[in-house]
Amino acid sequence: AGVCAICYASYNICIKKASSLIDPLLGGVLLQLVATVLGGCLWVATKSGHGSKVSQAGMAWSVAAGIAVGMAEILSFYVNSLGVPASQSVPVIIGGSILVGCVMGFVFLRELLTLRGWCGVLLIALGIAMVGMDPGASLH
């Protein structure tokens, strides 16, 4: 999980750096192209000669996830191209996805959180609000 967090943080910083230098749509397409090539190579390397689990439902949910992440990436490029500091955009986007993910898990997947879990979600929401309202500053 720690390596995944490092990858997500790096991904967001790279989007921030690229956002003022590339059209958001093109940036999203290029990002997806690289992810497709990398994922395809890893799949071939690890599944070569072995059976892979495949179902229509799995394919449909994977396509839906691709649409959602593609839109998220394009919107991340756009938000960052507006000059929003990464110290604000990354916590709001990632924290917001945690908040929305918890609510969607409850509503659509019927997953339950304890009172302690919902208190954590409330703290995330408060943290997002605090970061989002922070005027921020740049070191350069």
DSSP 3-44: HHHHHHHHHHHHHHHHHTTS-HHHHHHHHHHHHHHHHHHHHH
Give tens-digit pLDDT for 77-109: 898 889 888 888 888 888 888 888 998 999 999
> Do residues 68 and 110 make contact, with C-beta atoms less than 8 angstroms apart?
no
Structure tokens at 75: 């919107």
Bigger pLDDT: 40 vs 136: 40
Give tens-digit pLDDT for 49-63: 566 777 889 889 888
Biggest alpha carbon–alpha carbon distance for the chain: 54
How large is the average pLDDT for residues 112-122? 92
CA contacts within 13 A on the Cβ side of 139: 2
